[in-house]
Structure 1
Amino acid sequence: MSIDWQEPIARMLGRMEDTARQVGHAYPHWANPESGRWTTTSNGDWTGGYWLGMLWLASRGHGGERFRTLAEQGCARLEPRVSADTAFKAATFYYGAALGSLLAGSERARMLGLAAARDLKQRYNPKLGLVPLGTNAEEGSDVGATASSVDSLVVSLLLFWAARTANDREMREVAANHMDKVVGVHQREDGSFIQSSSLDPATGETLRRYTHKGYSANSVWARAQAWGVVCSTISYFSGGGEARWLQAAMKGADWWIAHVPGDCVSYWDFDDPKAPSVERDTAATAFMASAFLKLSSIAPCESKRQQYRCAGERTALALVERYLTPVDKNDKRPPGMLVEGCFNKREDSRAEDYVSNAELIFGSYYLFEALHLLSGRLLPAEI
């Protein structure tokens, strides 16, 4: 497939310039799909690191010094989040700080990422075998103190990076234990992932598995599936090449390929009975575009490598052609927005997350990463 992937990268870079002008010292959360106006957070929440991740990626290109400066400044403002009691800060510090160390050699980013990782390490609960969500987690007050979720796998991404960086064996062990427990609880035999779980505080045994943000308690919420595949894939790269994590990633990726609509863009929940007349989720789909491309470099046989490469290219192309706003004087939307991301359509969600058709900063990040992989600007094992 011969495609000029540089053009959509340029489109997204233009949108990043616009975003930087809009948000100032705040962090973009989601944007109105027509006006491009951002809803922001002041402290980064769990999404702010993805904005910094885009800046770190962009800083390696021609004229990237401005993006690096913005990333350094935004990273420094994350310091108050280091001790927050939430597993989800791992996403903020992996993409917002660890990537600054990995891609730009930033010492400030390295130190902040390590500080957040050490805080998460000491929150590890050996009875549960994982790092709990925490009292400040997005839904922590709703699901309980011994709850877990597939999206908490980002904890292992930050801890694996920190373990390598600091040569900390205990950190790696915590990361591996967390990875094994969360995948073991949340991945079904068929390869699909269920979002949430409740654990016995004394034994760590699973009391209940359910989907917290999807269509129903047993449905496959698209972003849960994507979290499972992305985090299993990156953990294989960064955690020492454990075959069980590659197997989990491939089972999840194969499930996605077998169930995603023919146009490669997922519904918000695979089990919503109103499909195809339901919301799509371009953000979850962008997660998978990146994961497929990474898997295409590590799958154990050539046929699977080709399958994942094709899936990654087709998925990224579908997003670029149909959902990345164009440079067109007749289109009033700002160019370079990845629209139709479904953040959360449940009425019991946080008010700041209740939007089902928007530009989501984490969706934009993963498409930007996928385009960098496709263009050769980024190697699969780098992040």
Structure 2
Amino acid sequence: MKIIAGVIIVISCSAMLKKDDVVRQAFDHAAKQTLVMLKEVAIKLQAAKAESKNPMPVAPRTLKDGDLVVVPSRDWTSGFFSGVLWYLYEYTGKKEWLDEAKKFTAAMEQEKWNGKTHDMGFKMYCSYGNGYRLTKDATYNDVLVQSAKTLSTRFRPITGVLRSWDHSRDKWSYPVIIDNMMNLELLFFATRSTGDSSFYKIAVSHAKTTMKNHYRADNSSYHVIEYDTLTGKVLKKNTHQGYAHESAWSRGQAWGLYGFTMCYRETKDKAFLEQAEKIAKYIFSHPHMPADLIPYWDYDAPGIPNEPRDVSAAAVIASGLYELSLYSPNAKDYRAKANTIVQNLSKNYASPVGGSKGFILLHSTGSKPANSEVDVPLSYADYYFLEALLRKDKLEKTSYKSIQ
């Protein structure tokens, strides 16, 4: 019996080591890559400064023809790199990551006044939000609250939703994209911080209206919905980055899964949980979902299996599934699928150490129809990958009770 017990202990320890190794090795790789990225970004920023670029770039976004693309704070992706740095600090506790995270976060502050974009959550919550969560710096809180106030100006009661793009006015007068679900977390935070329920009410209205109008009978999502500003009625149901108006753009499905799961966390409204589970069922029952669970850029793309993958969609799905597993009787299945995604991303989609100017993951797709950012690394893929890893780690260390 002693021998059997010893064998059980050894097996258990080996299993635990294997679980831990996935996260540890991935973060070790991420740290090495991010050191490379910091050097590459410094070179780019120095060159931009010498050229007196206006606006000045603040963060990396992708690669174009092998060259690092850096963007100003007004770009919707500008907050993800500081988020990567916050996650590295959270996992390692090392001061050097904290210092870099603070530096890149500070470069985003002016965006708290930028009312010309709906992407305030992506920009400010991924940067300042993580910073406040990890440091409780009151100045970060102030920036987040102002950012939420600015975002709220894009809400119109007649439509019940926050306006998305100000561009493409020749196509849409009041467009709302599924991506906007991700910006609601900033509003929920603002209500918790200030006690002002107006932020909460806007977020809930947007989520409920999106649930009503963005989703088809099969629980797939449209990308863009246009609203009539006088009546609030839906005028068009389109795509912008997907294959066709009636196709299922993979990252759009990921945004919805993650966004409605987050909305359930903040409201405990079971309708949001049910919506998240319906989306998960759609994603994983789709006949075009590859065996490794890294989706093609659109589930209905005509050239499957010879279509680009979208690693960014996979990373968002994995992170969302880890949280969804906290609230659902399908928890084991969701965690198993998230684990498969994370393991496959780590094994088969990671950049070689020292390569790709320091990006962590390869093979994402930004906008295939525009032939933009196809089969390249993207900063938000790296961000949600590290978030998924942290959630996996916390779930396993808390016996699947918390991702906080």
Length-normalised TM-score, structure 2? 0.85
2:360–2:382: 8 Å Cα contact kept in structure 1? yes
Which amino acid is 1:345 matched to? K
2:163–2:175: 8 Å Cα contact kept in structure 1? yes
Q: SS at 1:6's partner residue?
A: helix
Q: SS at 1:59's partner residue?
A: helix
2:213–2:234: 8 Å Cα contact kept in structure 1? yes
Match of 1:263 among 292, 315, 321: 292
2:359–2:378: 8 Å Cα contact kept in structure 1? no
How far apart are residue 255 of structure 1 and its match? 0.8
Question: CA 1:45–1:142 in structure 2 vs 1: closer, same or farther (change >3 Å)?
Answer: farther
Alignment of 1:313-352 (within 5 A): 313-327=339-353, 337-347=360-370
Alignment of 1:294-313 (within 5 A): 294-299=323-328, 301=329, 304-313=330-339
Matches of 2:210 and 2:402 in 1, distance apart? Answer: 23
Greater Cα shift, 306-315 or 140-149: 140-149
Q: SS at 1:39's partner residue?
A: strand
How far apart are residue 344 of structure 1 and its match? 1.3
Matches of 2:165 and 2:113 in 1, distance apart? Answer: 11
Matched, 1:355 2:373: yes
Q: SS at 2:334's partner residue?
A: helix
Which amino acid is 1:31 matched to? L
Matches of 1:371 and 1:50 in 2, distance apart? Answer: 16
Larger radius of gyration: 2
Counterpart residue number, 1:106: 137
Matched, 1:118 2:154: no
Match of 1:276 among 280, 293, 305: 305
Counterpart residue number, 1:212: 240
Which amino acid is 1:316 matched to? V
Which amino acid is 1:261 matched to? P
Cα shift readout 1:105-124 (whole Å, capped 9, x = no counterpart):
23232211111101112331
Alignment of 1:53-72 (within 5 A): 53-72=83-102
Give unpaired runs (5+ residues) of structure 1.
none
Equivalent pairs counted in the alignment come to 366
Cα shift readout 1:89-119 (whole Å, capped 9, x = no counterpart):
2211111112211233232322111111011
Structure with a larger share of its residues in helix:
2
Counterpart residue number, 2:321: 292
1:29–1:40: 8 Å Cα contact kept in structure 2? yes
Greater Cα shift, 1-10 or 213-222: 1-10
Question: CA 1:142–1:153 in structure 2 vs 1: closer, same or farther (change >3 Å)?
Answer: farther
1:76–1:108: 8 Å Cα contact kept in structure 2? no
Matches of 1:27 and 1:98 in 2, distance apart? Answer: 17
RMSD between superposed Cα atoms in Å: 2.2
How far apart are residue 128 of structure 1 and its match? 0.7
Matched, 1:374 2:392: yes
2:37–2:358: 8 Å Cα contact kept in structure 1? no
Which amino acid is 2:140 matched to? A
Question: CA 1:64–1:144 in structure 2 vs 1: closer, same or farther (change >3 Å)?
Answer: farther
How far apart are residue 275 of structure 1 and its match? 0.1
Cα shift readout 1:164-201 (whole Å, capped 9, x = no counterpart):
11111111111111111122211222221111011111
Which amino acid is 1:175 matched to? A
Cα shift readout 1:193-242 (whole Å, capped 9, x = no counterpart):
111011111111111111111111111111110111111111211x2211
1:226–1:288: 8 Å Cα contact kept in structure 2? yes
Matched, 1:162 2:190: yes
Matches of 2:142 and 2:239 in 1, distance apart? Answer: 35
Identical pairs, percent: 24
Q: SS at 1:82's partner residue?
A: helix
Which amino acid is 1:346 matched to? P
Q: SS at 1:217's partner residue?
A: coil
Matched, 1:203 2:231: yes
Greater Cα shift, 62-71 or 38-47: 62-71
Q: SS at 2:367's partner residue?
A: coil
Matches of 1:266 and 1:308 in 2, distance apart? Answer: 16
Counterpart residue number, 1:128: 159
How far apart are residue 333 of structure 1 and its match? 5.4
Q: SS at 2:272's partner residue?
A: helix
1:326–1:335: 8 Å Cα contact kept in structure 2? no
How far apart are residue 80 of structure 1 and its match? 2.2
Give unpaired runs (5+ residues) of structure 2.
1-14, 46-57
Which amino acid is 1:265 matched to? I
1:127–1:204: 8 Å Cα contact kept in structure 2? yes
Matched, 1:91 2:122: yes
Which amino acid is 1:160 matched to? F
Which amino acid is 2:224 matched to? S
Match of 1:248 among 270, 275, 281: 275
Cα shift readout 1:73-96 (whole Å, capped 9, x = no counterpart):
222222222222111222111111
Matches of 2:171 and 2:95 in 1, distance apart? Answer: 43
Length-normalised TM-score, structure 1? 0.89
How far apart are residue 52 of structure 1 and its match? 1.5
